[in-house]
Amino acid sequence: MTVRITRQALLPINTRLEKCSPLEILRFAHATFGDRVAILCGMQRAGTALCHMADRAGLGFDVIFVDTGVMHQETLQTRDLLSRTHPRLRLITLSPARSFAQQTAEDGLLYLSRGGQERCCDMRKSEPLRGVRGRYDAFVSALRRDEGGARAKINVLELDPEMGVLRVHPFVNLAPTDLDPYIAAHPDVVVNPLHAMGFLTIGCFPCTTPVRDDEPERAGRWRHLAGVDYCGINPTDRAGVDDAFVTLDDRYGSPLGLVP
C-alpha cells in the first residue's frame, strides 16, 4: 500500500516541525525513515555541521556526496576527513558516467554558456544522484531560508518528485552566523578549508570563486554567467509544479500526520 503526499498534505507536520530544533528534526527523520533516509552533503560548512550533529547524537545515516570530477582538492580532503572521524555515518561518493575530459572532448566547455551550464550541472551532479532513485525515501540537506532566492520559502519538509522522496531541511530557520556558536563549541566539526579562503559557498572549481564582504553569499557561484544561482540538484531551486506529489509506502502516513 502507498500514500500520495502533496505539499498541502504536509502543512500540519510542517507547522509542528517548524517549532523544532535542528537536532529534533534530525531525530524525527531518523526515526521515521530509518535506513531509507540519507544526508546530502557537498562538504560545505552547514552540511558538515549537520553531519557532525547527526553523528555525535548517535544517529546513523548514509551521507551522499557527488564528486563531479572537478571538485577542489580541499573539498575531497574534507570528505575523507569526515569519513574517518564520523563513525556512525557511511560516506557514499557518486560520480558522473564520463570524466570531465571526456565530456569536454565530446561536448565542449559547457559551463561557458547558460544553457551549457544547465547541461553540465545536470550530467555531473543531478544524473549521478538519479542513479540511486528508489534506494531512499527521504534526503536531508542543510538548505536555509536565509540563503534567499528560491530557498526563501522552503519548508522543513518538501517534495522531490523527480527522486520520489521527501526533502528534510533541519537548518531551514538558521542564519549563517547561527552556525558559528555550534562550530565554536564543537572544534571537531570538519570545516572545508576553502571557507577560510573567502569561499562562502563551494561547488566545482571552474565555477566557484571567493566572495567579497560587500557581496551576497552566493555571488561566487557562476560569476561568469549573469542570473545563474543554482545547479538544480535541489528541487526547491527549480520551478515547482502546483499539483506535484510523491508516492511513498503507507507506513509513513502516521508519523507524517497524514489523514487516510
pLDDT in tens, 61-90: 999 999 999 999 999 999 999 999 999 999
Q: Angle, nearest 10°, between helix axes 100-107 and 114-121?
A: 140
- The phi, psi pair for 128, rounded to 5°, reads -60, -40
Domains of the chain (ranges; CATH) run 2-251 (3.40.50.620)
Name the region of 198 (left: φ>0; alpha: ψ -120 to 50; beta: rest).
Answer: left
Active site residue ranges = 231
Which helix H or strand E contains 140, and what residues bound it?
A: strand 138-140
- The whole-number average pLDDT for the span 135-156 is 89
The string of pLDDT tens digits covering residues 100-141 is 999 999 999 998 888 888 899 999 999 999 999 999 999 999
Q: How many CB atoms are located within 10 Å of the residue 77 CB?
A: 14
* Nearest CA among 136, 131, 134, 155 for reference residue 32: 136
pLDDT higher than 90, residue 219? no
The answer to whether the CB of 172 falls within 8 A of the CB of 156 is yes
pLDDT higher than 70, residue 237? no
d(CA 56, CA 258): 31
Query: pTM (2 decimals)?
Result: 0.93
pLDDT in the model for residue 108:
93
